[in-house]
């Protein structure tokens, strides 16, 4: 049964659609509000943003003409929702206190996203994230908390890690062996890229230059593939991954063991990887058939020439398909994507020579870029997870491209995200997570 039939059946039974609370009304958030509002059986009941006009505009643009601007008055917000109206509040952390069925986070800020998720879980409220940076930092902790209770925690459909996971799961369900899984990146890495380099292109794309820089310096790709790694327990073969330019038609020839003509030494078994070239904006899984009968059948069906084959999804459509995860959570009580393994860590490498006393900017800034390494290697180096670097202060000089460690910085231990990560690390050390 498709989600639409299930959602409409639920609405007929309860007399109302799924009430969704959205935190964040930027470009992605506004798109998500519109997609949810168009989905049968769903309605955006509330939007939270510190800029109330942005939240109000997102609802108006989605066709809601019944918006109640409640700001900090949660009583007024709850009353509006109970009457079937939509409402706007200013504090996203208060969203779990409203009578919504699920909270969707689309702030784009890891610190906020993690707090939203944590607060929802402690309120036994379902929560779905679009900020993968938060999941990279404390996803295993949030997953275990939610799974031990009565709420669903999930990263949402529409981004490459989730859609690639679906290909991996499909291949496994068919009894095929996954050899490599990953995504296409639509440009080469420029690790030392800074926002000023991307201002013109950002203006053309109507993006924040820092957000675009997170793509050009490679950080976003490292984060996404680390998330896939932590959801599948497939490691990176080499630090930072190979990242070669490989055409789509050659993926099943190149991303296979070196013994069979590929680039993988296969000492670690199946791995996650990214490529540049014509694969973007798609995701892929390279699979192997271990059965002569199935190999002959796959060849006959024109999937290639075995035993290695390419499973490929040529698109990911972000906020347009993200709401599918809402239906999966509400109807089936299942998460589309969780980081349940501690397999890969993304750490920060200096973009330039950094001086002691520097207060570090966030991702996509001037100070560091992301680099995926095995989690055990990160622990050996005492490397700082990239999600914790912002607002930390260097206490030593750092040469360009060197990994930033806990020994190099003064970190604010009062930050909620830091506290959550400390708890996660403690659970990993005790063998509870990982």
The helix/strand/coil state of 211 is helix
Residues 349 and 325 in one domain: no
In this prediction, residue 363 carries a pLDDT of 95
Residues 75 and 192 in one domain: no
User: Does residue 42 sit within a domain?
Assistant: yes
Q: Are 120 and 127 in contact (CB under 8 A)?
A: yes
- Predicted confidence pLDDT, tens digits, the chain (434 residues): 589 999 999 999 999 999 999 999 998 999 999 999 999 999 999 999 999 999 999 999 999 999 999 999 999 999 999 999 999 999 999 999 999 999 999 998 999 999 999 999 999 999 999 999 999 999 999 999 999 998 999 999 999 999 999 999 999 999 999 999 999 998 888 999 999 999 999 899 888 899 899 999 999 999 999 999 999 999 999 999 999 999 999 999 999 999 999 999 877 789 999 999 999 999 999 999 999 999 999 999 999 999 999 999 999 999 899 999 999 999 999 999 999 999 999 999 999 999 999 999 999 999 999 999 999 999 999 999 999 999 999 999 999 999 999 999 999 999 999 999 999 999 999 999 87
What distance in Å separates the CA atoms of residue 249 and residue 262, rounded to the nearest whole number? 14
pTM of the prediction? 0.96
> For strand 153-155 and strand 67-71, is the pairing parallel, antiparallel, or unpaired?
unpaired
Residues 60 and 95 in one domain: yes
Residues 52 and 22 in one domain: yes
Residues 184 and 259 in one domain: yes
User: Does residue 338 sit within a domain?
Assistant: no
User: What are the DSSP E strand ranges found in 126-190?
Assistant: 126-129, 153-155, 177-185
What distance in Å separates the CA atoms of residue 58 and residue 39, rounded to the nearest whole number? 16
Residues 118 and 182 in one domain: no
User: Does residue 92 sit within a domain?
Assistant: yes
The CATH number for 62's domain is 3.40.50.720
Provide the number of structural domains found in the chain. 3
In this prediction, residue 80 carries a pLDDT of 98
Q: Nearest 5°: phi and psi at 226?
A: -70, -40
404 - beta bridge partners?
Answer: none
Residues 363 and 286 in one domain: no
**Among 189, 181, 112, 109, which residue's Cα sits nearest to residue 349?**
189
What distance in Å separates the CA atoms of residue 36 and residue 63, rounded to the nearest whole number? 11
Q: Are 273 and 242 in contact (CB under 8 A)?
A: yes
Residues 152 and 168 in one domain: no
The CATH number for 423's domain is 3.90.1210.10
Residues 310 and 325 in one domain: no
257 - beta bridge partners?
Answer: 264
What distance in Å separates the CA atoms of residue 238 and residue 229, rounded to the nearest whole number? 13
Q: Are 157 and 169 in contact (CB under 8 A)?
A: no
User: Does residue 270 sit within a domain?
Assistant: yes
Q: Which single residue is written with the structure tokens 């690639």?
A: 164
Identify the helix (H) or strand (E) that includes residue 331: helix 324-332
Residues 125 and 175 in one domain: no
In this prediction, residue 46 carries a pLDDT of 98
Show the CA angle centred on residue 397, arms to residues 396 and 403, nearest 5°: 90
Residues 303 and 221 in one domain: yes
| Host domain of residue 373 | 344-429
In this prediction, residue 1 carries a pLDDT of 56
Show the CA angle centred on residue 57, arms to residues 91 and 53, nearest 5°: 50
């Amino acid at each position: 049964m498709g989600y639409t039939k299930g959602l409409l059946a639920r609405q007929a039974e309860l007399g109302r659609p799924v009430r969704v609370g959205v935190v964040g009304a930027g470009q992605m958030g506004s798109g998500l509000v519109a997609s949810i509002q168009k989905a049968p059986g769903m309605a955006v009941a509330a939007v939270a943003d510190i800029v109330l006009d942005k939240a109000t505009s997102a609802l108006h643009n989605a066709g809601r003409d019944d918006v109640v601007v409640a700001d900090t008055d949660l009583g007024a917000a709850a009353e509006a929702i109970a009457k079937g109206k939509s409402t706007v509040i200013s504090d996203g952390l208060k969203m779990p206190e409203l009578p919504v069925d699920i909270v969707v986070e689309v702030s784009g800020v890891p610190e906020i996203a993690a707090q939203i998720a944590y607060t929802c879980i402690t309120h036994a409220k379902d929560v779905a994230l679009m900020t993968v940076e938060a999941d990279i930092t404390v996803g295993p902790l949030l997953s275990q908390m939610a799974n031990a209770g009565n709420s669903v925690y999930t990263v949402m459909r529409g981004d490459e890690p989730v859609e690639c996971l679906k290909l991996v799961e499909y291949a496994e369900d068919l009894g095929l062996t996954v050899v490599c899984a990953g995504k296409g990146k639509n440009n080469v890495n420029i690790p030392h890229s800074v926002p000023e380099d991307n201002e013109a292109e950002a203006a053309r794309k109507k993006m924040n230059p820092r957000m675009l820089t997170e793509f050009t310096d490679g950080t976003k790709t490292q984060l996404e593939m680390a998330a896939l790694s932590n959801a599948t327990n497939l490691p990176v073969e080499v630090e930072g991954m190979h990242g070669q330019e490989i055409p789509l038609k050659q993926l099943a020839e190149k991303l296979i063991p070196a013994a069979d003509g590929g680039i993988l030494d296969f000492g670690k078994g199946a791995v996650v990887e990214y490529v540049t070239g014509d694969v973007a904006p798609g995701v892929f899984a390279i699979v192997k058939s271990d059965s002569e009968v199935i190999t002959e059948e796959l060849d006959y069906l024109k999937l290639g020439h075995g035993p290695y084959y390419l499973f490929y999804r040529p698109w990911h459509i972000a906020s347009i398909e993200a709401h599918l995860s809402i239906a999966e959570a509400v109807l089936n009580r299942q998460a589309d994507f969780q980081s349940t393994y501690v397999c890969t860590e993304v750490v920060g490498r200096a973009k330039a020579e950094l001086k002691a006393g520097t207060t570090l900017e966030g991702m996509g800034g001037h100070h560091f870029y992301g680099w995926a390494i095995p989690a055990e290697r990160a622990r050996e180096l005492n490397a700082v997870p990239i999600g914790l670097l912002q607002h930390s202060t260097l206490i030593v000089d750092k040469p360009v491209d060197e990994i930033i460690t806990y020994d190099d910085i003064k970190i604010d231990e009062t930050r909620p995200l830091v506290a959550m990560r400390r708890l996660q690390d403690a659970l990993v050390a005790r063998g509870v997570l990982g």
